[in-house]
Chain A
Amino acid sequence: MCEKVLRPAIAYFTCVKETKTTCLDQRRENFVMKVCIIGAGVIGLSTAQSIYQHFHSRVSPLTIEVYADIFTPLTTSDGAAGLWQPYLYDKGNVKETQWNKETFNYLLSFLASPDSVKMGIFLQSGYNLCAEPMPEPSFKEAVLGFRQLSKRELEMFPGYSFGWFNTALMIEGKTYLPWLMNWLKQKGVTFFQRKIDSFKELSDSGADVIINCSGVRSGELQPDPELQPARGQIIKVDAPWLKHWVITHDSTSGVYDSPYIIPGSRLVTVGGVFQVGNWNRLNSSVDHKGIWEAACKLEPSLQHARIVEDWTGLRPARSKVRLEREVIRSGGHSFEIIHNYGHGGFGLTIHRGCAEEAARLFGQFLEQKGLLAAQAKSRL
């Protein structure tokens, strides 16, 4: 009956009205679209949101469930400073640049809304510092007021002779994730605190589509040699006079392996290290010392700041984000997986763009199965 959806446009709309009921009845009898998302960091939660937004009225009933062993405030997303900023260069991953920009514009649109504070979104300006002239970064068009630093400004940062200034967004995980969870709960999305040991486990329990947002531990579900932890340690400091983020770049040491200072709404995050292959979740006093000394050199006023705590997180680093569909066949069954992991140190930065793309892939799946009530192209 659902094939009727493929008729020419003129008859399309009326046709859909007729057949929609039929399809729905069939589905109600045989089929509930159940989407199970693994992971409740910013990627998992925002993907749930995008899927709900795009499909709750077009696929009925649509059940969305989120499975994770760790929820806010203990996820990797919660520990991140929350500065929207991609790596300087996308190395040809133009889609990622697009998703980053999409996320920026999406968050920016909420700034004037009554929800902005509850979402943990606000603007902050700052400095990207380099030891030598570098090509302009991938995000220069996305951010506000991007410009080069003047010589006078650079005098404030001995050791750095080049850099940029711009205004970007902050998106604090510790606030954003609870907001997302609340949003999802209100829409009927359910949460399960459970470690998922295999995709099959979920498929066996009725999942039609599994969205894999398991971040750094994705390898436990499906080996992926390209995915590695990139350990980061940060120091949270009380220094409320600091109003700019400062990120230094060292072409020899790599991204985030160079000091950075990112003021948040309450505390300032000081980092950083980027230790690929290091699974150690414990704070290291050696790293603490290195980070602190470098930061105090960069920002002398930190010397009188009160240190509150250290935190360690494992960035889910990958050569590029894995955002794609996969059909897994097991014992006569096949089930659909949409992977959305490997966002390294830019999960918050890219989350919405990726969530929308994941939703688009889900839509593709639905269309292929003929499960989608016709797209209201007649949305005149």
Chain B
Amino acid sequence: MGGPALPPKENNLFKLIVKSYETKQYKKGLKASDQILRKFPEHGETLAMKGLILNCMDRKAEAFELVRKGLKNDLKSHVCWHVYGLLYRSDRDYREAIKCYRCALRIDPENIQILRDLSLLQAQMRELVGFVETRRQLLTLKPSHRNNWIGFAIAHHINHEPAMAVNILDAYEGTLEEDFPPESERYEHSEMLLYKATVLEEAGQPEKALEELAKKEEKIVDKLGLREHRASLYLQTNHVAEAEEIYRKLLDVNPDNYLYYEGVQKCLGLAPNGGIYTSEQVQKLEQVYNDLCKKYPRSAAAKRIPLDFLEEDAFKAAFEQYVRPVLKKGVPSLFSDLRSLYSHPRKVEMMEEVFLKIVTSLETSKTFPGSSDVESPSTYLWTLYLLAQHFDQRRQYEKALSYIDQAIAHTPTVIDLYLVKGRIKKHAGDPVAAAALADEARTMDLADRFLNSECVKRMLQADQVELAEKTAVLFTKDGDQHNNLFDMQCMWYELASGDSHFRQGNMGKALKKYLSVEKHYNDMVEDQFDFHTYCLRKMTLRAYIRMLRFQDHLHSHRFFFRAATSAIRCYIKLHDSPPKAVAEEQEAVIAGLPAAERKKMRQKLRKAEAKAKKEAEEKAKEEIAAVVTSKGGKKATHVSRPVDTDPDGDKLLHVEDPLSEALKYLRLLQEHSADALETHLLAFEVYFRKGKKLLALQAVKKQLVLDPSSPDVHRCLIRLFESLDKQPKPDSHADEIIHNVIAMERASLKELGSKSLLDVNRDFLEAHGDSLKHRAAAAEISLLLSPEAKSEAIKIVEDSSEDHASSFEKQWRATSKKWMASQGLCSCTSVVGDFFQRCSCCIKVVSTLCGIVPLFNIF
């Protein structure tokens, strides 16, 4: 230790401080530290420890101050550095914490506590090489501790060295007695053995893995896991007979796990190649599944899987056999079960034939076709219900509504009917009716939260935000809707809410919701911190590795994707049409008033502002008071609620540089959702506006790789080069380099080559003349490139061939004609909005339109 050592009395007090900190007796610790400081006010380590304790009492600013002071007084104290690191860690500043720990270790390189803390941070930050080294040191210092062996092995494993990990585990096992483990550690030891087999598999040694499992079988507790792993390993090592045997045994236990069926198929060489089966395979599969169905008569999977590989008549027959008993039983999720079949147009036709035959037969004779058993009325009801969903899927909304209305007339008490009707209405473009129906369903069973959630969702889709909030409150704890839904990470609600605000043009509130989702993901990444120690203790190692990998791709999850893409869109909008400052808006209002009233209005506004500010302060004080009183009764680990200084997202709305904010989220998307076209479409929009030509070009190139025929990609491509062509000649050396690079890239893009942009557009139109969406894109581009040739652009849309347009496209065409005729002027947002209301089309249309509107803002 640096500075002068403390005399014995103070030394004992210091030990007391440390003990008090460890046992969370903070007041005691503070008292002891103050006693020392009275006599030795500059003692570095005491100051640091006092700071550490204050930090645990939520007095963060004071804590940091004291620790820094202590450190300054005693730079050579590993205790001070360690404490400083702990403070940073509690603040989630892991990089700084690591630096501090390293300093501490330079002074006291064999301090196990510091090494352990460092290893946690390194695992958290995925500093894999450092993690391995630290765990090696821990093992060297204390080889008697089981966790140090396991920890070292794990470090190698996640550092992509599975073979090394196996060696460590072998060495560890070598230190154990023959009769290990004792009864109390059977489960943990078993987990370690299963983990070892997993690592062997990843090291490319499936045979060795099998050997291990065989040798250690009696010590393995998780028999089910053992079987599943063995089966997979047998498959990998081509022991198909053994594998098949195990999969069949697994089916005996759970004939509803389609992974086992897939396993059996693989063993028999009957797995599909790219989703396609040969006709020989189909024949064999039929036989296999006939047997399986007989063996497991209650398994739904055994009956359903054949519908995927059967074709034509065989399919039709099996399909009818499958559907009948389910209709009899009255299962609302039948359609959901069949939905994957709808990507095969031929199967869709056959399904429709079967449905219509059944419904007619039930209508006329209350029997299934070819049967004489009279069915109960509910069979007819569920058939109508199924048909409604079927036509909804085929976008024939009038037919769908007709069927569901018949169903409701037949049995008005069945709640599911209203949910489906709501869904149809929403698809048909009437979200308000959908919300009303969902609400009706909700009132039929007020104790069911699912119905409440569905209703809230529909209300948000209909932009009835206040009503939605009031409804959601019925199920939240303590009726505090906003905070509770946030605390419980209800992301479906936040996304739906954000979408509604976005549609209504409230970017601030929308951003608030989207960024809440982002915060949840940050919290989730943080959550893993405690588990680095926990999993070593519990020895659930396979699960631990999976957790690390799960965390690594956490941000590719669909909720985050939606939140990030939506937030970027908000920022783009804020860039394109910046919000007026509040003062400006008020001035505009005042200017519109007659002179006499202006002074009054100014006073009124000022009063209102002062009042709002006071109310916010009062509320904040109340919240803090509530937290303080509740903390008294709760554990010391209770986190106080930070006061929300921006409840309506005003600060977010008035952010200085929206595009830079957007970039933060864009980077995460580029890292975790690089295969999504939308990522690169948004990347283009951001870089284009920022004038980053090369990055914009890079984004377009990535788009072309993912989907060269997409109309959105076509738009980006032409817009980019149209803008680049208009640029003045490069005057600086750097600009010239960029210019040359772009020229080279342009030549290499096969979509462009050396063609003029107009020609590119013409070729695009020719290649995709059948699709209205593509024609619309071509029309826009035509207008962009030759703004005078408006009639030509309109003609492109009008010429869309009647035969190839689906019903939804037909509607879209009719209304887009009107819109194109209005010349798509700059301030057409209101026209577009109005247009959308009149045009009852799906969401797809809206997103296409949103792509169009900013384009025309360029004029």
- Do A and B belong to a common assembly? no
